[in-house]
Chains A and B, each alone.
Chain A
Amino acid sequence: DQQVKQNSPSLSVQEGRISILNCDYTNSMFDYFLWYKKYPAEGPTFLISISSIKDKNEDGRFTVFLNKSAKHLSLHIVPSQPGDSAVYFCAASEGDDKIIFGKGTRLHILP
């Protein structure tokens, strides 16, 4: 039973355009959501997070939006750059508990 779902295995976006990665969750007790970025042969690295009491968090080119009623969050990257090509994992946790990851979306930034 997947509690965090990323339904798009891959996404291709032109350099300079906006990349939108989507994530759905089923556990209404999750109170913290994170996005991680992963390059091949490396561990995931933290990108941006959002608490359930907020609906938006922005950090430079990265913005995460949370829609609690729809149990949906999205990561916006604008403008997209070649170095953004990686696998992006959506993740969630409840309290100080372990982090639950989605399956990931592979983002390709096209020149």
Chain B
Amino acid sequence: DTGVSQDPRHKITKRGQNVTFRCDPISEHNRLYWYRQTLGQGPEFLTYFQNEAQLEKSRLLSDRFSAERPKGSFSTLEIQRTEQGDSAMYLCASWGGRGRETQYFGPGTRLLVL
């Protein structure tokens, strides 16, 4: 257990539905990252927050995706009008800033879009 939790762990949805995932980082960590991992690939960066500010978004993050981190604590990732290509593992990581090795990953949310 890294101290980073994600909810839900699994989500099955029908194409066109909206889904929302939550990440609770390690409490004193000010930076939070979202990654997506598809089969046979490594985690791919989506976006990150420094406290409540979203500082960078990958071109992978289409306009159907939105992420928030109100009050600089937990974060949510919403996917609107899901497509089958959105099926993936969505990983959250928090970073305490002392060294790159201190980026801790949560267990991930596995999304299946039917």
**A positions within 8 Å CB-CB of B:** 4, 6, 9, 32, 34, 36, 41-46, 49, 89, 91, 93, 96, 98-104
Contact = CB atoms under 8 A, between A and B. Distances in A.
A93 B95 CA distance: 14
Contact of A46 (B33, B103, B106, B107): B103
Interface of A is mostly: strand
A101 B43 contact: yes
Contacts of B103: 46, 99
Interface residues of B, number: 25
Contact of A43 (B4, B40, B45, B102): B4
Contacts of A41: 107-108
Nearest to B89: A43
Contact of B42 (A45, A49, A91, A96): A91
5 A-B pairs with the lowest CB-CB distances in the bound complex, closest first: A43-B105, A101-B42, A98-B45, A49-B101, A101-B43
Nearest to B91: A43
Contact of B43 (A9, A45, A89, A96): A89
Contact of A98 (B2, B48, B91): B48
Nearest to B58: A98
A41 B107 CA distance: 7
B33 to A, nearest CB: 7
A96 B91 CA distance: 19
A102 B2 CA distance: 22
A7 to B, nearest CB: 13
